[in-house]
């Protein structure tokens, strides 16, 4: 009878030992939460202007080269038209050449003063931003944008200076006697204006903001009708070609990982292999939304796993990361 009383306890003991024995045989897999992220590319406007077309929405797919926004280029088209008219007049060498030359000088002087003022403003903005960056007050990309604006303003000022010098030289030649100019000088002037026309046409192409990569629009920083300055970010696109799973590995376990190692990623019943591409050198507490029983209230290391190109996962998807 005594043996019968102890039988259930013995069976329970066998089951418990068997369970823990299975766990020891299977090994202690580390299961973590992961989230899919994409490589983000900012779509920077190289020219200033007002947005007259916005062809994207949050979450919309785009292909590399798609026009995502268009800036008003009316003034620049007028300038191009004026250059082309001036070229025709120089080629015809009409009697109105002197009047045209004077008008060109007046216009070039105004353009140079405007470009010089823009450059001075951009130059004055740099020094305080550099001090703020050194003090940790602003992000590096904000300083980089300011430097880009300074470079663009400098290029515009030098271009305006060149145009003014050409206009003055042309006026001087016209005043000294248009008929006395040599064919060589006339050809040089014509080539210079042709060069400016090519430059203006290249600039006009920048008023169509084109997607630098294929992917998904994850942020839009301006609305239709907004004024955009050169060097500012129109929108952010998460690239389709570079998607990662971000997870947080307990500091004591991070030594088991190495660059190039493949780790199992589970999305429901689907299993794929992600390649370790980034292991943070700094430890931190696991974000609450990424905590599991293995990482709760523990110091962890941020890890990024590169997904294979054929993966159908998209940024924002939640997955499980299994480290054997």
- 48/71 Cα distance (integer angstroms): 8
Residue 129: predicted pLDDT = 85
CA-wise closest residue to 50 among 233, 232, 226, 220: 226
Spatial contact of 237 and 211, defined as CB atoms under 8 Å apart? yes
- How do 318-323 and 208-210 pair as beta strands? unpaired
- What's the whole-model pTM score? 0.50
Residue ranges and CATH numbers for the domains of the chain are: 27-39+238-323 (2.40.30.170), 73-206 (1.10.287)
Classify 321 in phi/psi space as left (phi over 0), alpha (psi -120 to 50) or beta. beta
pLDDT in tens, 123-145: 998 888 888 888 888 888 888 88
Residue 251: predicted pLDDT = 87
Handedness of CA 137, 138, 140, 143 (dihedral sign): negative
Residue 184: predicted pLDDT = 59
- 43/161 Cα distance (integer angstroms): 30
- 38/62 Cα distance (integer angstroms): 14
Helices in 96-182 by DSSP H: which ranges? 97-134, 140-175
In which residue ranges of the chain is pLDDT below 70? 1-27, 92-99, 174-186
For residue 288, give Cα distances in angstroms to 126, 268, 301. 39, 22, 14
Residue 21: predicted pLDDT = 37
CA-wise closest residue to 93 among 150, 24, 173: 173
Residue 290: predicted pLDDT = 83
Spatial contact of 119 and 156, defined as CB atoms under 8 Å apart? yes
């Amino acid at each position: 009878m005594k043996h019968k009383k102890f039988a259930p306890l013995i069976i329970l003991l066998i089951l418990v030992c068997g369970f823990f024995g299975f766990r020891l045989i299977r090994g202690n897999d580390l299961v973590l939460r992961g989230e899919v992220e994409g490589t983000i590319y900012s779509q920077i406007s190289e020219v200033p202007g007002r947005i007259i077309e916005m062809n994207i929405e949050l979450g919309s797919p785009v292909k590399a080269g798609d026009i995502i926004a268009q800036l008003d280029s009316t003034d620049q088209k007028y300038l191009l038209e004026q250059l082309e008219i001036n070229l025709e007049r120089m080629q015809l060498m009409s009697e109105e050449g002197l009047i045209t030359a004077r008008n060109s000088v007046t216009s070039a002087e105004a353009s140079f003063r405007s470009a010089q003022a823009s450059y001075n403003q951009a130059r004055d903005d740099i020094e305080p931003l550099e001090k703020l960056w050194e003090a940790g007050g602003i992000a590096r990309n904000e300083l980089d944008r300011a430097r880009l604006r300074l470079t663009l303003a400098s290029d515009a000022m030098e271009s305006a200076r060149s145009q003014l010098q050409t206009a003055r030289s042309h006026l001087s030649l016209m005043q000294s006697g248009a008929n006395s100019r040599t064919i060589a000088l006339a050809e040089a002037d014509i080539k210079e204006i042709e060069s400016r026309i090519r430059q203006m046409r290249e600039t006009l192409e920048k008023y169509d903001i084109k997607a630098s990569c294929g992917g998904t629009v994850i942020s839009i920083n301006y609305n239709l009708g907004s004024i955009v300055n050169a060097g500012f970010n129109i929108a952010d696109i998460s690239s389709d070609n570079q998607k990662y799973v971000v997870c947080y590995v307990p500091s004591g376990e991070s030594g088991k990982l190495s660059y190039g190692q493949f780790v199992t990623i589970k999305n429901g019943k689907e299993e794929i292999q992600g390649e370790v591409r980034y292991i943070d050198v700094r430890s931190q507490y696991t974000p609450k939304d990424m905590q599991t029983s293995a990482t709760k209230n523990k110091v962890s290391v941020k890890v990024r796993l590169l997904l294979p190109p054929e993966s159908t996962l998209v940024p924002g998807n939640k997955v499980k990361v299994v480290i054997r």
